[in-house]
A and B are shown apart, each in its own frame.
Chain A
Amino acid sequence: MTEKKTPLLDELEKGKWPSFVTEMKRAAVKSESAGELLQVLERSYVEHRGHWKHGGIVGVRGYGGGVIGRYVDEPETYPNVAEFHTVRINQPSGFFYNTKTLRTICDIWEKYGSRLTNMHGSTGDVILLGCKTEDIQPIFDEYSEAGFDLGGSGSCLRTTNCCVGPGRCEFACYDTLEACYNITNEFMDELHRPMWPYKSKIKFSGCANDCTGAIARSDISVIGTWRDSIQFDQAAVKEYAAKNFDIQGLVCDKCPTKCLTYNSQAQELSVVAEDCTRCMHCINMMPKAIKAGKEKGASILIGGKSTIVQSAFMSSVVVPFMKMEVESDFEEFKDLVRRIWDWWDENGKSRERLGELIYRVGMGKFLRECEIPAVPQQVFRPRANPYVFWQQDDLDKSGTALDGSKL
């Protein structure tokens, strides 16, 4: 192949941030498709438009998703990226790897693909970027043999994801890594064989810092929390004070419920535990001195999604507190999500996310039909309008007025 110029992309090899163009060029040394991808991209930079054809349906035997088909719009000009499909590989919990595993991923991809990857896709998967249709099944077979499975795509349970959790965080309120692994394995069928109105995502964050962005990026957001009082190490408080750390200004004054008090004389902290909303601010600021409570679990929020169709939703509270115990195999959680998915599957329109369905039919109906009790923690504030639906069967339907006359 004659050396083709990429003057615009070359500009993006300059500067201090690691360059994706350099990465593409490295791949292109041994991969014709990566070389051609550079040409296609350079052309996009000149013409200010993409050059990928609409859609593409490809996959592997036994599954309904996991591979994103992609075709270039001028296959004669760019024969090596005429087919340029993405394979999603389910990542290990918390993105923990040993080098043996990563090298295996590279070795198989080197054999068949473009040598390009995304580490990782936004949902969490390892993204293998660019292969031919005929290679998809062999690629899957080899990865499968090496202990990997595909991630999700389409109207299914997408690949689940979690924060680093107890692997390396003192804030973790439940075992996010195990929850993610265990629950992914429980719902393999739902992940690999799309059967729902639309996609559904679960993300596990160990505390309200929400390092996976669960509240914004998943239909079912599991956010770690606790139910009793935060705990203090008053000796450590004194150490912060000794370093002239502004405990009053940077910690207490920013407490959203003003439930945290600093006694500067005694250099001690105290809290009105029942007023704390467990926002994590004081713990974030003084991790050596303040810890979460002992009675740990998670809040379950649902409905998060991005813009299309009815604008972006954040997940909202449905179950304020649930134990997320490895010992009970997360049964309470699994039971809840099965009820929710069954209801959505039954009632959801085509391409209607869970959050949109609830918005369409009402939170009350959702809670009632999924047997979830209504509690004040589910709302910022009660409704202001009086347009209430009553269950007519619960009312006195005798048709008799108070004076005994028929209505």
Chain B
Amino acid sequence: MAKLDQGPPNYKEMLPPIIKENYGKWQYHEIPQPGVLKHVAESGAALYSVRVGSPRLVSIDFIRDICNLADQYCDGHLRFTTRNNVEFLVSDEAKLKELLETLSAQGYAVGGTGASISNIIHTQGWVHCHTPATDASGVVKAVMDDLYEYFESMKLPAKLKMGLACCLNMCGSTHCSDIGIVGVHRTPPRIDHEKLRKTTEIPTLVASCPTGAIRPDPKNKSVVVNEDKCMYCGNCYTMSPAMEIYDPRNDGIAILIGGKVSNARTAPSFSRMVIPFLPNNPPRWPEVTEAIRSIIELWIANAHKGERLGEWIERIGWEKFFSLSGLPFSEMLIDDYIFARETFRTAAGFKY
């Protein structure tokens, strides 16, 4: 019989000795080379962290491999980051070079520090979720392959964080990323009335619709969807298996940009939609990788040093961003949901 409510393993038992000794007494850090952090404690002790990219979806063989490396070079200590990278914690400087050589020889991706593109926070996609409008792992792999040079170097104007969500539940951080990749539907749900009667709590279903497009149909013991009010969010399907909404020919990806969570310089901000739709084109999603690359290259060419993507655009103005990028601006990009008005330009100052 299992012990209940024992909680997570105690992190204290898993800290390397150098961290236990210098806990809360770190003096400063620097980045000697891409993918390597050096933290120096008040005591003078130095800890090297070697950051390695991970596909997040990994086999236990991968975990055992990194355990072997950690045993060999880090006295059995490693951690993961909040962006799902692996960090080898090296307290013996002599072993740092050896570890880096081994990682390079075995084809590990070392990087993700400083002004780089780090790992893409992403979701389940077609691998395990029932509501996706696109895949997660495949799109992430395609985008990271395309932008790999920016993972292993630190030559961007500032850090760039990306998030991918396979539907607009937006699990993860897509809504506050420099670049957010979001799976979207474009057609209303198909109601299976028979199934709905057997499986669905109708009031919950009605309440789930952000635009009030669903009303009960007591005569049929089912619901009616006002298709003019539906913007295909799919939340009704989350509530009811009778509201299938996937549509292979019309599902795809929207791109949002300019968000951040850090408070440095400017307040945290949401990412904003700049491309309402790109097709699902597995396995490489070329339209998506190309669109993201051109946005990033435009930012590199124009931003001041230290300027996050959203900070750059806010400085030059979104109208200038659209003219520089050549991205088509359409009514789809003008907000028409509950907080829309504050996004309109209530000023006469703008650029032509």
Residues on A facing B (Cβ under 8 Å):
8-9, 11-12, 14-21, 23-24, 26-27, 34, 37, 40-41, 44-45, 47-55, 60-63, 70, 84, 86, 90-103, 105-106, 109-110, 115-120, 122, 129-130, 137, 140-141, 143-145, 147-149, 161, 163-164, 166-170, 172, 175, 177, 181, 184-185, 188-189, 192, 208-217, 250, 254-256, 277-281, 284-285, 287-288, 306-312, 314, 349-351
Contacts and interface: CB of A to CB of B under 8 A. Distances in A.
Contact of B60 (A117, A215, A287): A117
Contact of A167 (B19, B82, B172): B19
Interface stretch (B4-12, B92-100, B214-222, B316-324): B4-12
Interface in B52-103: 53-64, 66-68, 70-71, 76-82, 84, 86, 89
B265 interface: yes
A41 B126 contact: yes
Contacts of B263: 208-210, 277-280
Given A95-B79, A250-B305, A172 B24 contact: yes
14 contacts: A9-B283, A92-B8, A92-B11, A95-B82, A99-B78, A100-B76, A119-B80, A120-B56, A129-B127, A137-B2, A169-B26, A280-B264, A281-B264, A288-B30
Contacts, number: 349
Interface of B: 1-11, 13-15, 19, 23-24, 26-30, 39, 47, 49, 53-64, 66-68, 70-71, 76-82, 84, 86, 89, 108-109, 121, 123, 125-132, 135, 137-138, 141-142, 144-145, 148, 151, 168-173, 175-176, 204, 207-210, 233, 235, 237-238, 240-241, 246, 248-249, 251, 259, 261-266, 268, 270, 280, 282-284, 305-306, 337-339
A21 B142 CA distance: 12
A312 B208 CA distance: 15
Given A11-B284, A23-B55, A122-B121, A308 B63 contact: no
Contacts of A311: 210, 337-339
Contacts of B204: 350-351
A170 B22 CA distance: 11
Given A54-B241, A308-B169, A256 B266 contact: yes
A145 B49 contact: no
Interface centre among B71, B168, B176, B208, by most A CB within 10 Å?
Answer: B176
Nearest to A380: B267
Contact of B82 (A84, A211, A255): A211
A51 B144 CA distance: 25
Interface centre among B7, B28, B70, B175, by most A CB within 10 Å?
Answer: B7
Interface centre among A50, A120, A177, by most B CB within 10 Å?
Answer: A50
Nearest to A68: B128
A215 B84 CA distance: 19
Nearest to A107: B60
A50 B132 contact: yes
A324 to B, nearest CB: 13
Contact of B28 (A20, A109, A141, A288): A288
A163 B82 contact: yes
Given A54-B237, A119-B54, A185 B59 contact: no
A172 B248 CA distance: 47
A41 B141 CA distance: 15
B172 A50 contact: no
Contact of A18 (B54, B132, B283): B54
Contacts of B208: 309, 351
A63 to B, nearest CB: 7
A189 B63 CA distance: 31
A212 B83 CA distance: 9
Contacts of B259: 216
B287 to A, nearest CB: 14
A93 B60 contact: no
A103 B67 CA distance: 8
A101 B61 contact: no
B130 A55 contact: yes
B261 A210 contact: yes
Given A103-B64, A116-B57, A215-B261, A93 B283 contact: no
B133 to A, nearest CB: 9
Contacts of B264: 208-209, 279-281, 284
B173 A18 contact: no
A137 to B, nearest CB: 8
Contact of B262 (A24, A106, A116, A208): A208
Contact of B148 (A8, A15, A137): A15
Given A48-B282, A53-B130, A120-B80, 5 more contacts: A44-B135, A55-B130, A96-B11, A148-B9, A314-B268
A266 B170 CA distance: 50
Contacts of B15: 96, 167
Contact of B8 (A51, A61, A90, A144): A90
Nearest to B125: A50
Interface centre among B11, B26, B208, by most A CB within 10 Å?
Answer: B11
Contacts of A98: 13-14, 76-77
Nearest to B6: A149
Contact of B338 (A130, A288, A310): A310
A55 B5 CA distance: 26
A215 B176 CA distance: 9
Contacts of A14: 145
A50 B268 contact: no
Contact of A115 (B61, B238, B339): B61
Given A118-B56, A185-B7, A288-B28, A309 B127 contact: no
B282 A45 contact: yes
Contacts of B210: 308-311
B131 to A, nearest CB: 8
Contacts of B2: 60-62, 137, 140-141, 143-145
Given A45-B135, A95-B81, A167-B23, A177 B282 contact: no
